[in-house]
């Protein structure tokens, strides 16, 4: 465990880049071999805006990383934060608690708030308006959302008191988890169900991308499913019946332009259907 912490405390940027590129590559290939949906789309054309947003997310996180480092160093030196105020515990438990709580504040809570606060939902809509969810959708976040998510992670580091090694470990696990759960892969239903008792599974997260409420407002987790089960936001739905996107954008062509996606959070949208996501109104 000490070796693990030391590795992530000093993890080279090249290794983090390899996780990003390697993850997309592996799941991209798996999508071709074991697809859940046989999309009739040009995969590279669809991937372009998603990869652009992945790049902007990386740049924003890299530019603001010094804030994570400063905060993590401060809580460590001052023995500040929830996991530092608990009675002494084994190192493995300390690491698990740190990652688990960061997943709550940095992912689940951030995601929940984005769905419930109207201006934030309009920003998050860029992610949900993808009609062909695949592994490239994982980091399809408007730059403003990348900043918001970073803010929640920073808040988590401060409240929880996680050293930078646990922060980088959490970010690495989060990256692979989100690529995995968005990937257009077909796992055996039994295996997916068993996995979902502890972790977010592909089928579980794809329910969140169904275009109709209440499913859109469910399954907010990123790594662990415990938070959705604990707070009553867990839902199931037949994966064969899932329709991606949001009813604000019923046609895939409505949001295919990168220029349109960048402007999307600043538009006012209204949809006549009663099952639309009213947060955008």
Can you read off the two tokens belonging to residue 261?
């996606």
Q: Note whether 161 and 75 are within 8 A (CB).
A: yes
Assign 138 to helix, strand or coil.
helix
pLDDT band at 22 (very low <50, low <70, confident <90, very high): very high
Tens digits of residue pLDDT in 202-246: 999 999 999 988 999 999 999 999 999 999 999 999 999 999 988
Alpha-carbon distances of 156 from 71, 89, 138, 176, 242, rounded to whole Å: 10, 20, 21, 20, 33
The predicted structure's pLDDT at residue 267? 72
The count of domains in the chain is: 1
Write the secondary structure of 1-24 as one string of H (helix), E (strand) and C (coil).
CHHHHHHHHCCCHHHHHHHHHHHH
CB proximity list for 75: less than 8 A, separation 6 or greater: 81, 84, 157, 158, 161, 162, 163
Residue 61 phi/psi, 5° resolution?
Answer: -65, -35
Strand partners, 185: 35
Tens digits of residue pLDDT in 154-166: 999 999 999 999 9
Does the structure show a pLDDT above 60 at 152? Answer: yes
Tens digits of residue pLDDT in 25-84: 999 999 999 999 998 888 888 999 999 999 999 999 999 999 999 999 999 999 999 999
pLDDT band at 280 (very low <50, low <70, confident <90, very high): very low
pLDDT band at 279 (very low <50, low <70, confident <90, very high): very low
The predicted structure's pLDDT at residue 249? 61
Share of the chain above pLDDT 90, in %: 78
> Which residue is listed with tokens 């257009």?
184
pLDDT band at 265 (very low <50, low <70, confident <90, very high): confident
Which residue range is the domain that position 221 belongs to?
2-280
Can you read off the two tokens belonging to residue 123?
């920003």
């Amino acid at each position: 465990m000490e070796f693990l912490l030391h590795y992530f405390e000093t993890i080279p940027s090249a290794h983090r880049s390899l996780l990003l590129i390697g993850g997309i590559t592996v799941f991209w290939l798996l999508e071709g071999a074991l697809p859940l949906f046989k999309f009739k789309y040009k995969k590279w054309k669809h991937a372009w805006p998603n990869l652009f947003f992945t790049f902007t997310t990386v740049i924003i996180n890299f530019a603001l990383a010094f804030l994570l480092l400063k905060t993590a160093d401060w809580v460590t030196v001052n023995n500040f934060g929830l996991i530092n105020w608990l009675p002494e515990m084994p190192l493995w438990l300390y690491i698990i608690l740190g990652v688990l709580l960061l997943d709550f504040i940095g992912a689940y809570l951030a995601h929940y708030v984005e769905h419930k606060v109207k201006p934030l939902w309009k920003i998050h809509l860029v992610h949900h308006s993808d009609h062909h969810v695949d592994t490239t959708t994982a980091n399809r976040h408007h730059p403003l959302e990348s900043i918001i998510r970073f803010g929640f992670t920073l808040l988590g580091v401060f409240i929880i008191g996680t050293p930078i090694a646990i922060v980088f470990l959490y970010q690495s696990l989060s990256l692979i988890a989100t690529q995995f759960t968005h990937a257009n892969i077909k796992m055996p239903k039994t295996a997916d169900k068993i996995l979902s008792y502890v972790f977010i599974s592909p089928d579980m997260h794809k329910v969140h991308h169904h275009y109709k409420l209440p499913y859109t407002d469910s399954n907010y987790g990123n790594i662990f499913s415990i938070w959705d089960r604990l707070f009553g936001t867990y839902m199931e739905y037949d994966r064969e019946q899932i329709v991606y996107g949001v009813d604000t954008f019923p046609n895939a062509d409505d949001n295919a332009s990168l220029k349109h996606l960048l402007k999307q959070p600043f538009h006012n949208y209204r949809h006549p259907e009663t099952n639309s996501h009213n947060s955008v109104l």
